[in-house]
Amino acid sequence: MEQRPNPDQSPDESRLPEDLAESEETFEQALERLEREVQGLRDRYEQVQRDQDRQTELSLEAADIRRSLKRHRSRELQATLKTINQELAQLEVSLESRLLSWRSVREPFWQIVRYGGLGVVLGWLLRSCSG
């Protein structure tokens, strides 16, 4: 059944139900996207916590092995220490790379480009007007 515009209503008012349906869909999509992003943040937080716990554990283990190496040198202990140091380096890179992702830098980057470009254009205009 087609809705006929009421002569008392403006054209904007006759579109209200359509706009409302569109905004509900948009709101639902935005809400779903927000829920996915929040879940991603939770997952990332849990991963960071696990990595930090593992990093602390490995650091303590490496300190124990270094003390043992001072008492008596063993190839087995040296190999274990090397493995622990490699794992610590991997954890450090993992923690740093995930904290500095393009998503977290994208908005500030474009703000710098936008306002920096605007500043250059305004400076150029002011210089050309004054001189």
Q: Is 4 within a domain?
A: no
Based on the domain organization, do 71 and 131 belong to the same domain?
no
Q: CA–CA separation, 7 vs 5, rounded Å? A: 6
Number of domains in the chain: 2
Q: What is the pLDDT of residues 76-104, one digit of tens each?
A: 989 999 999 999 999 888 877 666 666 66
Q: Is 48 within a domain?
A: yes
| Residues 93 and 102 sit within 8 Å (Cβ to Cβ) | no
Q: Is 12 within a domain?
A: no
* Strand, helix or coil for residue 1: coil
Q: What is the pLDDT of residues 10-66, one digit of tens each?
A: 555 555 666 666 777 788 888 898 899 889 888 888 888 898 899 999 999 999 989
Based on the domain organization, do 107 and 94 belong to the same domain?
no
Based on the domain organization, do 51 and 72 belong to the same domain?
yes
| pTM for this predicted structure | 0.52
Count of alpha carbons within 13 Å of 1, Cβ hemisphere only?
0
Q: Is 93 within a domain?
A: yes
